[in-house]
Amino acid sequence: MFKLLFVFAVLILSSNASVQDFCVADLKGPESPAGYSCKSVTKVTVNDFVFSGLSAAGNTSNVIKASVSPAFAAQFPGLNGLGLSAARLDLAPGGVVPFHTHPGASEVLLVVQGSITAAFVSSTNTVYLKTIKKGELMVFPQGLLHFQVNAVGFNSVAYVFFSSSNPGLQIMDFALFANDLSTKLVEATTFLDEAQIKKLKGVLGGTG
């Protein structure tokens, strides 16, 4: 039996050198199109694969009465390169996650408290709209505009999961109104009225 131990030790040693089961993000190393650099395996611990940042409710004391807390590779380094990430949505009564897209991933939503009305719009402009109850799932195909709205008179909570460790997040209102894109160009490319644009630029801190 001593020999069995021995031969297996050899197997392990030889395989060790070529093993990379995972690539925990080293946030300070160079990034590539495939994600963050890998932290040295000798420095990896189980805590790299566990994330507690979504266990507490986000702050919904604001106008949208909602909060979004991401667990992407930048927050949860163990996800890097594994094709998955997550976020938590808290929606107070009346809370809304406004129209947005994830340029790099599809999304599955799980309601864990309350009820949420969600929809996505397809390339053919069809609306897929449904109110999702606790324990139900809804999937949003990659890159399409979608939103979530609290459907009940108390706090709703959902977790969403993405098919990439870096899904991206583009909130439509911010893309349009929270930067220095000129009102004239926004008007020309959205057909919104000038007054409407200026109003939302004012609210969201845009200029021009």
Binders of a second copy among residues 51 to 70 (CB under 8 A) are 51-52, 54-56, 59, 61-64, 66-70
Residue 64 or 152: the one with the smaller Cβ distance to a second copy is 64
In the complex, least distance from residue 190 CB atom to a second copy, rounded to whole angstroms: 6
In the complex, least distance from residue 178 CB atom to a second copy, rounded to whole angstroms: 5
155, 90 Cβ separation under 8 angstroms = yes
Distance between CA atoms of 102 and 136, rounded to whole angstroms?
Answer: 21
Torsion angle of C-alpha atoms 127, 133, 134, 139, degrees rounded to 10: -20
Distance between CA atoms of 7 and 135, rounded to whole angstroms?
Answer: 49
Q: Which of 22, 115, 152, 198 binds a second copy (CB under 8 A)?
A: 22
Q: Does residue number 153 form part of the binding site for a second copy (CB under 8 A)?
A: no
Residue 22 or 154: the one with the smaller Cβ distance to a second copy is 22
Which residues sit opposite 199 in a β-bridge? none
- On whether 187 is known to bind a ligand per the annotation, the reply is no
Both tokens of 95, joined, read 């809370």
**Binding-site residues for oxalate, please?**
102, 107
